Chains A and B, each alone.
Chain A
């Protein structure tokens, strides 16, 4: 419950022909994660299914392209789970190849239509531009005895270099319409004897000649009307093309469904990757399975695999801990909290899974910082009302709302009204120092717990030295206790308690000595680093403890904001009063609620998780169907 599920490393020896079946059976169980580390490379020299994988990748790419073109989403998989042979996959790939030939042709036609639209727009822009020029457009297109004249488009970025280049051949370039990417230009120059260099030059420059259509030779109104006709014709072509694509979609739909199913069933074998190795007729497959699922895996293979197989399992080796995937199964209520924990990191195998602790402390701190029966009820109500939209996060909202309501009862606060009912515990603003003291005690308890978890984690990983001397280890904790005891003694009795002070000093010396020994540097550098790191340990504990004062600060802030709202409301008339109260509450609810939610997360991650949670584990990614 408080750590990832115990895992087993398994290896399954099967006949190579049975490997696709084995992969599909394992995928159906959702309990097997392939282990891709190289193993027994000399005994099992090859990796099976390389051709299968190549085929799969090509087929999947083709399928995705077709699906995107015809807007096809495969129906959820439902049917017999049967392995896919290489021949079946090849046949599907071949069909997809042929289908994509048609699809690619459709795509090219779509592109040409876009190009047509662009041309029409450009011609319209040209027309608008030419209307200011006193040029006979027809003249520009005609063959001239002594002049080369061209109209077209070139990349804008290269315009000045093209102008320079053309000047070398005695041509002039006039841009008359400059766009971001392309510019419309007129090129004029004396006709040159012999083969024209211009064509080759312009090809190199990516010049696209723009034929001035006859319609532009006429009056601007007629020209515009003709361009509109061309646009209508292009739109008609687009409609026809879309209809053709839809018709084709209808023709290939059943085949696409079939191929989607084939690809779906081929995925597990493809996903085995290098977890399977082969020597002739025999193959071996290795991976991780949750220990409690092992009997189910064995039974499924026994029932469904036709030929004999050998399944061996063992516990993870100590040196494998970093590689073992962590499986965490939480109920619906804890899922949203688990997702927030995952934002920090996946627990390392064997490490304490902090989800339960996180859920409990998060909800408690949220309530303490945002205690108000009314606001809590709104959060609760909104969470239930929007449960479909919130999905898995609904329990998070409900829990936060209930906690806020409970603390509201303890604080005697409802929608910022502090005197409507008597607080079960205390009205925060009635004794701020008491509230700060409570927050401090909460913080000390939280840090203590985090440090104890850190020691436990180190012990679980077999790192006794880390548990004793490491950051947030036993020695650090005793230093923290010593400092707290000394501080309290000073506060309560006016003198440093001898026992606490001795504990603090001894711990400090121990930490310093350890840091001095673990460094690998000249003695001067060692002393400096050890001093700074030891000092950091003290300041870290102090600042993290004080950080928890915000728990009380926000509870006070909540009341202070409510007072501000009521003061403003008091300046208004009857209607204004209630409008201000309502709007003020909405403001408190949204803004302060959000800030508190973030601040609690910060306390959890920064003051808590950073002390004990490495979060560098591997997520369990099983073969799935």
Chain B
């Protein structure tokens, strides 16, 4: 009885929240608004009325939008316990891992503490990891020692390598991303879900997106060897598995990579000319898949997770619009970053950041 009640609560909450998601038409409308109108719409006007720098305003907007997301997460967590709660609580860990990335890079490049702190996401206390000691570390070696003692010892190893070899080879970022998705999959496996397929599909679609994009970037932009490119990817995606990745890593042009992608990616990406377009189409596909799962999944936890993932995309689209208005960017640039009705893809945090 209690499980059914919790399921009903979560489903209802997700339905209510889902009605507030940003549609492609909304994006077009928001892009036409002034900064003031945007501030009024999202209750962020007080930020723009303060006498602070544009950078500070941008930081506060980012913080406020993430806070909205975290508030919704806390509401969705209410009826959950056990592994299901653990899964949903793990999802925002990605922000914490972005913080970790920022922190390590900041220390490796000897940035002042204030500068690093400014670039960290402000997260609610129950999600935030204790990074203060890392931030207080006074030199790289001290930070590495602290990292080695904690749960990020594997990451510390990559960081030490970067520090000792004096070059950054993407391994650090890839290790952090991998750590996140591996943890996510481990929690999904532990969850006693009524819709295991849907759950794995949701996470798998995010991993597939990540793998395709980064495979293309490593091979075609940074010209990494197939072995290195393959090693940096996550070999347990939704529809692109280890064998596909091994095959794809050996290919040397955008067209051949797309030709060898399994369906639906081959049809989805047919005819694209550059990686930006690949990202836009992949984001659109991911959003579509997540929307489908959110509406149709039998398991309210899967719906809630999908909602959070879509909302996360929304947040970054909104943030891009806010930032473009703050920086008084050209409308065409904004359209390129945040396409609207004609191509309703979502901008992801990595492009905005």
Interface residues of A (CB under 8 A from B): 58, 61-62, 97, 100-101, 104, 107-108, 111, 155, 157-158, 161-162, 164-169, 181, 197, 200-201, 203-206
Q: Are A97 and B249 in contact (CB under 8 A)?
A: no
Task: Tell me, rounded to whole Å, the shortest Cβ–Cβ distance linking A106 to chain B.
Answer: 11
Contact A168 B250 (CB under 8 A): yes
B133 to chain A, nearest CB (A): 8
B223 CB to nearest chain A CB (Å): 11
**Contact at B138–A155, with CB atoms within 8 Å?**
no
Taking the closest CB of chain B, its distance from the CB of A398, in whole angstroms, is: 42
Closest to B233 in A: A161
- Say whether B242 contacts A164, CB under 8 Å: yes
Closest residue of chain B to A166 (Cβ to Cβ) is: B227
| Contacts A107-B142, A161-B230 supplied; 5 other A-B pairs, CB < 8 Å | A97-B138, A108-B142, A162-B231, A168-B250, A181-B153
Residues of A within 8 A of B171 (CB): 203-206
> Contacts of B249 on A, CB cut-off 8 Å?
168
B170 at the interface (CB under 8 A from A): yes
Give the nearest-CB partner of A110 in chain B: B145
B178 to A, closest residue via Cβ: A158
Mark B residues whose CB is within 8 Å of A: 133, 136, 138-139, 141-142, 145, 148, 153-154, 157-158, 161, 165, 169-171, 174, 224-228, 230-232, 235, 242, 246, 249-250
Which A residues are CB-close (under 8 A) to B145? 107-108, 111
Q: Which of A100, A107, A155 contacts B157 (CB 8 A)?
A: A155
> A169: which B residues are within 8 A, CB to CB?
225-227
Asked whether, in the complex, the Cβ of A157 is within 8 Å of the Cβ of B228, the reply is no
Q: List 21 A-B contacts (CB under 8 A).
A: A61-B133, A62-B138, A101-B138, A104-B138, A104-B139, A104-B142, A111-B145, A155-B154, A161-B230, A161-B231, A161-B235, A165-B230, A168-B226, A168-B246, A168-B249, A197-B225, A197-B228, A203-B161, A203-B165, A204-B171, A204-B228
Q: In the complex, what's the smallest C-beta–C-beta distance from A483 to chain B, in angstroms?
A: 30
What are the 7 closest A-B residue pairs judged by CB atoms, nearest first? A165-B231, A197-B225, A165-B227, A168-B227, A169-B227, A204-B171, A168-B226
Interchain nearest-CB distance for A569 vs B (Å): 49
- Cβ-closest chain A residue relative to B162: A203
Given contacts A155-B154, A168-B250, contact A201 B227 (CB under 8 A): yes
Residues of chain B with a CB closer than 8 A to A97's CB: 138
Give bound CA distance, A201 to B171, whole Å: 10
Q: When chains A and B are docked, how far (Å) is the Cα of A161 from the Cα of B136?
A: 35
Measured CB to CB, the nearest residue on chain A to B141 is A108
Minimum CB–CB distance from A549 to chain B (whole Å) comes to: 30
A166 to B227, CA, bound (A): 6
Q: Once bound together, how far apart are the Cα atoms of A104 and B250, in whole Å? A: 46
- Helix, strand, loop or mixed for chain B's interface? helix
CB closest chain-B residue, reference A104: B142
> What's the minimum C-beta distance from B57 to chain A, rounded to whole angstroms?
19
- Given A104-B141, A162-B231, A164-B230, decide whether A200 and B250 contact each other with a Cβ distance below 8 A: no
Provide the bound-state CA to CA distance between A165 and B242, in Å.
Answer: 10
Question: Whole-angstrom distance between the alpha carbons of A200 and B171 in the complex?
Answer: 11
| A341 and B261 alpha carbons, distance in the complex (Å) | 66
By a CB distance below 8 angstroms, the chain B residues around A107 are: 142, 145
Chain A, interface SS category: helix
Q: Is the CB of A206 within 8 A of B158?
A: yes
Q: Roughly how many angstroms separate A168 CA and B148 CA in the complex, as a whole number? A: 31
Q: Is the CB of A204 within 8 A of B246?
A: no
- Which chain A residues lie closer than 8 Å to B228 at the CB level? 165, 197, 200-201, 204
Assuming the contacts A164-B242, A168-B249, A169-B226, asked whether A204 and B139 have C-beta atoms less than 8 A apart, the reply is no
Given A107-B145, A169-B226, A204-B136 contact (CB < 8 Å): no
Q: How far is the CB of A169 from chain B (nearest CB, A)?
A: 4
CB distance from B338 to the nearest CB of A (A): 33
- Return B265 CB to nearest CB of chain A, in Å: 21
Which chain A residues lie closer than 8 Å to B133 at the CB level? 61
Complex Cα spacing A97 to B154, Å: 29
Measured CA separation A62–B139 after assembly (Å): 12
The CA-CA distance from A595 to B170 in the complex, in Å, is 60
Write the nearest CB–CB distance from B14 to chain A, whole angstroms.
23
The answer to whether A200 and B169 touch (CB under 8 A), given A100-B138, A107-B145, A164-B246, is yes
Question: How distant is B130 from chain A, measured CB to nearest CB, in Å?
Answer: 13
Q: From residue A165, how far is it (CB to closest CB) to chain B in Å?
A: 4
A166 to B228, CA, bound (A): 8
**What is the chain B residue whose CB lies nearest that of A62?**
B138
> In the complex, A406→B227 CA distance in Å?
83
How far is the CB of A534 from the nearest CB of chain B, in Å? 22
CB-defined contacts of A104 to chain B, threshold 8 Å: 138-139, 141-142
In Å, the complex CA distance between A552 and B157 comes to 65
* CB-CB nearest in chain B for A100: B138
A167: which B residues are within 8 A, CB to CB?
227, 246
Q: Nearest B residue to A57 by beta-carbon distance?
A: B136
Q: Give B247 Cβ to nearest chain A Cβ, in Å.
A: 10
Task: Report A421 CB to chain B, min CB distance, Å.
Answer: 55
Tell me if A58 and B136 are in contact (CB < 8 A): yes
Contacts of A165 in B (CB 8 A): 227-228, 230-231
B151 to chain A, nearest CB (A): 13
Q: Which residues of A contact B225 (CB under 8 A)?
A: 168-169, 197, 200-201
State the CA gap A161–B142 with chains docked (Å).
Answer: 31
Min C-beta distance of A546 to chain B, whole Å? 27
> Which of these, A58, A62, A100, A205, contacts B231 with CB under 8 Å?
A205
Residues of A within 8 A of B242 (CB): 164
Least CB distance, A615 to chain B, in whole angstroms: 23
Q: How far, in Å, is B31 (CB) from chain A's closest CB?
A: 36
C-alpha gap A203/B136 in the complex (Å): 28
A206-B231 CB under 8 A given contacts A61-B136, A104-B138, A200-B169: no
- A101 to B235 CA separation, bound complex (whole angstroms): 43
What is the distance, in angstroms, from B232's C-beta to the closest C-beta of chain A? 7
Instruction: State A263–B153 Cα separation when bound (angstroms).
Output: 33
- A residues less than 8 Å from B232 (CB atoms): 204
- Complex CA distance for A205 and B42, rounded to whole angstroms: 45
Question: In the complex, what residue of chain A is closest to B242 when comparing beta carbons?
Answer: A164
Assembled-state Cα–Cα distance A305/B349 (Å): 54
Closest CB-CB distance, B159 to chain A, in whole Å? 10
Cβ of B250: which chain A residues have Cβ within 8 Å of it? 168
Residues of A within 8 A of B142 (CB): 104, 107-108
Return the chain B residue nearest A182 by Cβ. Answer: B157
- Docked Cα-Cα span, A161 to B139, in Å, equals 33
A566 to B342, CA, bound (A): 91
Task: Report the nearest B residue to A158, measured CB to CB.
Answer: B231
- A111 closest partner in B (C-beta): B145
A108, A166, A206, most chain B CB atoms within 10 A:
A206
Contacts of A58 in B (CB 8 A): 136
The CA of A155 and the CA of B145, in the complex, are separated in Å by: 18
* A204 contacts B231, C-beta separation under 8 Å: yes
For residue B174, give the distance in angstroms from its CB to the closest CB of chain A: 8
Of A157, A169, A203, most B-chain CB atoms within 10 Å: A203
